[in-house]
Amino acid sequence: MSTNLQNLLELNQPALAAFFAQVGEKPSSVKMRAKQTLKWLHQSQVTDFSAMTDIAKGTRETLAAHAEIRDLTVIRDSTASDGTRKWLFDVGSSAVDAVFIPEEGRGTLCISSQAGCALDCAFCSTGKQGFNRNLSTAEIIGQLRYADLTLKADLGIVGRTLDGVQPVTNVVMMGMGEPLANFEAVVPALELMLDDNAYGLSRRRVTVSTSGLVPQIDELAKRSPVALAVSLHAPTDALRDVLVPINKRYPISELLASCNRYLEFAPRDFITFEYVMLDGVNDQMEHAEALIKIARQVPCKLNLIPFNPFPNSEFKKSPREQILAFQRRLSDAGIVTTIRKTRGDDIDAACGQLAGQIKDRTRRTIAIHAARMANTLGEDA
Ligand code: SAH
Ligand code: SF4
């Protein structure tokens, strides 16, 4: 298809209404057309305009002349023995992934916002890979569209209705990339997740995870406040400067202040702080004591993530006893602290045919995605 065609998956409701106006639809009906089209795209997940049967034939012909529905291409689809499922998508020069974790009563999809990441956190394989490019809104929402459609097909469910059984009940932006560094593409994708004419998820069931871009946290509060997870990983600026280098620009005190500002708009009354447990680096009792002081400054829950090692990484996973002792200390201080469960561990076996580089990254990222999803959500999520 020609690249002049507008990919409709790129557009949230206002943008879709503007598109209809631009192609000559009457002003009085652009809003209705936008809603109808969203339903076809994100609830019935059609791939062809001819299937949009409640839209007049002439309008469908106009759509076909000016627009397209361009989905992501899947490179690999793997399922672990525990039901965790991962799709690897081709985004041109690179690949990104989405991971689905089914649990009793909910299904969480972890999606990517960038190919690679520029922020270079010391313990992160995505960061080590460097920045490739931002994903578009279509590529971000496309991960949800693809997963939703595929999982529904497996269950024999046709179409998405807001009151019916749905495989994806929660979305977390904890895959590859820093979502708030791709703000202008991420926000319309969030809006589509929330829109009742599209995926209709509540704000508390959509989580953005950030390494701590303070101005964008403030902006997100204004534009689309969803649940927020913050990758803290260290209780002092000296250590966080090393582990999460963006801390040099936005130190812990500024980050905590932005979390408190965010909570005025947030759909939940706490921030989730993520803390990767690195042996001998940030997992000692002195770190727990410092972390308690920080956690008392913001209504929060803490999620401890056992480090997932990768080739040439300079860190080791904290021993289990250390993680448990760390958790106990925080819990004793009254801070709700969870430890991630491991899911989808065996998927790397299914990735055997992939090229080595992708295989390695795949194995690492599934563990990371699974880690992030397992415990970051509130009990009522
Ligand atoms: N960029 C955002 C969201 C995605 S990053 C952020 O930093 O919050 C994915 C998350 O995976 C990071 O927060 C980090 O907690 C986690 N992570 C990265 N590398 C990891 C590793 N090797 N082991 C365990 N968790 C890791
Ligand atoms: Fe980027 Fe997040 Fe990895 Fe840091 S942890 S390098 S912000 S993806």
Rounded CA separation 93/132 (Å): 8
Vertex 345, ends 274 and 235: CA angle to 5°?
15
* Any atom of ligand 1 within 6 Å of the Cβ of 231: yes
The pLDDT of residue 354: 26
Q: Which of 173, 178, 308 to mutate to test the pocket of ligand 2 (most atoms within 8 A of CB)?
A: 178
Token code pair at residue 260: 């408190």
Q: Is 50 exceeded by the pLDDT of residue 301?
A: yes
Percent of the chain with pLDDT over 70: 87
**Which of 2-11, 133-142, 158-167 shows the lowest per-residue confidence on average (mean pLDDT)?**
158-167
Q: Is 70 exceeded by the pLDDT of residue 116?
A: yes
The pLDDT of residue 211: 98
Q: How far is the CA of 129 from the centre of ligand 1 (A)?
A: 13
Q: Span 73-347: which CATH code?
A: 3.20.20.70
| Digit-coded pLDDT (tens) for 326-343 | 999 999 999 999 998 766
| Digit-coded pLDDT (tens) for 70-86 | 999 999 999 988 889 99
DSSP class per residue in 107-135: EEEE--SEEE-SS--TT-HHHHH-EEEEP
Q: Is 60 exceeded by the pLDDT of residue 351?
A: no
Which ligand is located closest to the Cα atom of residue 128? Answer: 2
Average pLDDT over residues 20-42: 95
10 Å CB burial of residue 336 (0-12, 13-18, 19+) is middle
Protein residue whose Cα sits closest to atom 7 of ligand 1: 211
> How many CA atoms lie within 13 Å of 1's alpha carbon, on the beta-carbon side?
14
Residue among 124, 127, 143 at smallest CA distance from 135: 143
Which ligand is located closest to the Cα atom of residue 117? Answer: 2
What atom of ligand 1 comes closest to residue 364's alpha carbon? 22
| Digit-coded pLDDT (tens) for 150-176 | 998 888 776 656 556 789 999 999 999
Q: How far is the CA of 11 from the centre of ligand 1 (A)?
A: 28
The pLDDT of residue 165: 72
Which ligand is located closest to the Cα atom of residue 172? Answer: 1
pLDDT band, residue 352 (cuts 50/70/90): very low
Q: Which CATH class is domain 6-68?
A: mainly alpha
Average pLDDT over residues 235-252: 98
Q: How far is the CA of 91 from the centre of ligand 1 (A)?
A: 21
Q: How far is the CA of 199 from the centre of ligand 2 (A)?
A: 27
Q: Integer distance in angstroms from the first to the last C-alpha of the chain?
A: 40
Q: How far is the CA of 334 from the centre of ligand 2 (A)?
A: 29
The pLDDT of residue 64: 94
* 293 CB neighbour count, 10 Å cutoff: 10
Mean pLDDT of the chain: 89
Which ligand is located closest to the Cα atom of residue 123? Answer: 1
Rounded CA separation 230/274 (Å): 6
Amino acid at 208: V
Q: Which of 211, 241, 243, 273 to mutate to test the pocket of ligand 2 (most atoms within 8 A of CB)?
A: 211
| Digit-coded pLDDT (tens) for 199-226 | 999 999 999 999 999 999 999 999 999 9
Q: Is 60 exceeded by the pLDDT of residue 54?
A: yes
Q: How far is the CA of 311 from the centre of ligand 1 (A)?
A: 16
* Any atom of ligand 1 within 6 Å of the Cβ of 274: yes
Protein residue whose Cα sits closest to atom 20 of ligand 1: 124
Please, where are the H alpha helices in the chain?
13-22, 30-42, 57-66, 125-129, 137-155, 183-194, 214-223, 237-243, 252-263, 285-295, 320-332, 347-350, 356-376
Ligand 2 environment, Cβ below 6 A: 117, 119-121, 124, 126-127, 177-178, 211, 231
What atom of ligand 2 comes closest to residue 128's alpha carbon? 6
Q: How far is the CA of 328 from the centre of ligand 2 (A)?
A: 27
Asked whether this chain's domains 6-68 and 73-347 adopt the same fold, the reply is no
Which ligand is located closest to the Cα atom of residue 275? Answer: 1
Q: Is 80 exceeded by the pLDDT of residue 377?
A: no
* 185 CB neighbour count, 10 Å cutoff: 19
Residue among 378, 274, 373, 291 at smallest CA distance from 335: 291
Vertex 207, ends 168 and 127: CA angle to 5°?
105
The pLDDT of residue 370: 52
| Digit-coded pLDDT (tens) for 169-190 | 999 999 999 999 999 999 999 9
Q: Which of 109, 182, 209, 316 to mutate to test the pocket of ligand 1 (most atoms within 8 A of CB)?
A: 209
DSSP class per residue in 146-189: HHHHHHHHHHT--S--TTS--S--EEEE-SSS-GGGGHHHHHHH
* Any atom of ligand 1 within 6 Å of the Cβ of 181: no
Protein residue whose Cα sits closest to atom 8 of ligand 2: 177
The residue extents of the domains of the chain are 6-68, 73-347
